[in-house]
Amino acid sequence: MISFAISLLALVVGYLLYGKFVEHVFAPDDRPTPAVANADGVDYMVLPGWKVFMIQFLNIAGTGPIFGAIMGAWYGPVAYLWIVLGCIFAGAVHDYFSGMLSVRHHGANLPELVGCYLGQNAKRVMLVFSVFLLMMVGVVFVYSPALILKDFGWSTMGWVSVIFVYYMLATLLPIDKIIGKFYPIFAFALLFMAVALMVCLFIKMPAIPELWSGAEAMNRNTPASLLGATSFAAKNPLFPCLFLTIACGAISGFHATQSPLMARCLDSEFKGRRIFYGSMVTEGIVALIWATVSMYFFYYGGWREVVGPDVANAFLAQADGGKTLVQFFNAPNVVEKVCTGWLGVFGGVLAVFGVVAAPITSGDTAFRSARLIIADALGVSQKSVAKRFSIAVPMFVAAIALLAWQIGNPDGFNTIWQWFGWSNQTLSVFTLWAITVYLVQEKKSFVLTLVPAVFMTVVCGTFLLVSPMALGLGATIGYTGSVVILVAACVCFFAWYGKTMRA
């Protein structure tokens, strides 16, 4: 618990100190924001600061900091380092600047911002890339809630239909009608669940791995053969897979597509640090809590306490046939078992929210962002309901086709999810490079985003080299390629920087 407590404190201090420094570099002022200057009663409107924060938090969070942290916990306490350092120095910086640049560019969406600083070719790539990513988010987060809801009656496809109808309404209606009213409630529930589990951790003070623990300590209570950790790590090496697995909670390119939604509802630039940097740090805290709970659950045998003797014995019976904890307890199972086991009936309600409501709220804002990005690219005003329909209908037809492919393919969900993880972090690469160019042009401290931009470029490039789903070149060639990517990124940037400074 020492590593957890230090990491928790580090995130809070990071917000107070480094967040203030990042705000100083950007230098917010009292100019009119898009919510005031471009108010249209649909997407551009002033909302209370607390409500903007709660919506932004839920938009960027959903189940990301829960599921990603649960899966990332298989790598052990090193996940703490990535959550803390990634969140403070990469993710929160990424979210703050992408949100504030949107404010400065009249509520511009991500492709527009990338086009401003990386050129029109990059803008075109980003337009296709971001819309495709947002469609994948919507599809990924419609089927899994439907699978769970079918246990409460009706068929899976029936629930899929209901969720898609809701998506359509949330995408088309003014932002204050559904999102503005219900998202703060959902966000509060997600935060309450995390805080309740944190209190349980401090009351129980379970023996969990520390940053300085060795592999022997991590496996002391649960043998590696039972964990399935060896095979998991062999298929998903720590570098780069940890940095793709834990995205929300550390850094996520998806956030840059969501920040413009709230950039259009902010009435003062001075609220930006609390909204954008603060919500990312809050998400990091949620991820930290779930990573800690999961390490106790898996490595120190906490699953026995949480699930009870009957379920534990059922698992052990299957383990005789070679089934491991990785296969028996997936991320939604962990959420359900932990919340119910530690928080009782109320925890069970929160668990259903965590694996049902949260992904649905990520999906609807993804489709809303996609509508706005397409509308901006085509120059179509969104004041008219008919014009909103003209973009939303083809978009949902394409999403339904993608969902049909996923359902018809035995490994469709896993395929979409893994490529979603890579696409998500690649989106952050484009965003970080665009922000870096902005900082250079404004003669500000560009190192703030240069370091995370180079690092994430190497992470995403390495995944393409080593992943069996991509080139699958093996460790030796793959990691040699990582060094080449690192050198190439630095050489290209400093060549451009030198040319820019001479101009």
> What secondary structure, in 3-state letters, does 265-283 show?
CCCCHHHHHHHHHHHHHHH
Highest mean predicted confidence (pLDDT) among 120-129, 273-282, 333-342, 391-400: 273-282
Predicted confidence at residue 154, as pLDDT, reads 81
CA dihedral for 328, 331, 332, 335, sign (positive or negative): positive
Query: What token pair was written down for 113?
Result: 């911002």
Question: How much is the average pLDDT of 44-51?
Answer: 92
> Is 351 a residue whose pLDDT tops 80?
no
Of 44-53, 147-156, 281-290, minimum mean pLDDT range? 147-156
Q: Which residue has the higher pLDDT, 254 or 226?
A: 254
Q: How confident is the model at residue 275 (pLDDT cuts 50, 70, 90)?
A: very high
Residue type, 94: H
> Residue 204 is inside which H or E element, if any?
helix 179-204
pLDDT at 317 over 80: no
414 vs 454, higher pLDDT: 454
Mean pLDDT to the nearest integer, 264-281: 96
Dihedral of alpha carbons 179, 139, 337, 303, sign: negative
Per-residue pLDDT, averaged over 452-473, amounts to: 88
Q: SS3 of 43, please?
A: coil
- Cα torsion 24, 25, 26, 31: sign: positive
- State yes or no: pLDDT of 315 exceeds 70: no
Q: What is the pLDDT of residues 132-142, one digit of tens each?
A: 888 877 777 77
Of 73-77, 119-123, 148-152, 215-219, least confident by mean pLDDT is 215-219
Q: How large is the average pLDDT for residues 482-490?
A: 94
Decide if pLDDT at 449 tops 80: yes
CB 344 within 8 A of CB 334: no
Give me the pLDDT at residue 398, please: 86
pLDDT of residue 298: 76
Give the pLDDT mean for 230-240.
68
Of 250, 208, 260, give the one whose Cα is nearest residue 56: 260
Checking if the pLDDT of 71 tops 70, the result is: yes
Domain boundaries in the chain? 2-418
Give the pLDDT of residue 82: 95
Note the CATH architecture for domain 2-418. Orthogonal Bundle (1.10)
Going from the C-alpha of 163 to that of each of 134, 169, 173, 476, the distances in angstroms are 16, 10, 15, 45
Lowest mean pLDDT among 104-118, 213-227, 362-376: 213-227
Share of the chain above pLDDT 90, in %: 36
Average pLDDT, the chain: 84
pLDDT of residue 95 exceeding 70: yes
The pLDDT of residue 222 = 61
In this prediction, residue 468 carries a pLDDT of 75
In this prediction, residue 456 carries a pLDDT of 96
Which pLDDT belongs to residue 318?
Answer: 62
The tens digit of pLDDT for each residue in 180-197 reads 888 888 888 888 888 888
Residue written as token pair 């917010």: 28
User: Is the pLDDT score of 321 beyond 70?
Assistant: no
Tell me how far apart the alpha carbons of residues 393 and 371 are, in angstroms, rounded to a whole number. Answer: 10
Mean pLDDT of 119-137: 84
* Structure confidence at residue 409 as a pLDDT band (50, 70, 90): low
Number of residues written out for the chain: 503
What confidence score (pLDDT) does residue 176 get? 80
Q: Is 457 helix (H, G, I), strand (E, B) or coil?
A: helix
Lowest mean pLDDT among 84-88, 113-117, 180-184, 320-324: 320-324
pLDDT value at residue 181: 83
Contacts of residue 148, defined as CB under 8 A and 6 or more positions apart, other chains included, come to 332, 352, 355, 356
pLDDT at 450 over 90: yes
**Any idea what DSSP says for residue 31?**
P
pLDDT at 417: 63
pLDDT tens digit sequence for 197-226: 899 899 888 877 788 875 555 555 565 556
Which residue has better confidence, 75 or 444?
Answer: 444
Confidence band for 432, pLDDT divided at 50, 70 and 90: very high
pLDDT at 480: 93
Q: In sequence order, what are the residues at sequence separation of 6 or more whose Cβ sits closer than 8 angstroms to the Cβ of residue 347?
A: 193, 196, 338, 339, 340, 341
Dist. CA 255–CA 61, nearest whole Å: 9
In the predicted model, what is the mean pLDDT of residues 370-396? 87
Q: CA 370 to CA 377: how far, in whole Å?
A: 11
Longest dimension (CA), the chain: 72
- Is the confidence at residue 44, as pLDDT, over 80? yes
Residue 431 pLDDT greater than 70, yes or no: yes
* Burial group, residue 431, by CB count within 10 angstroms (0-12, 13-18, 19+): buried
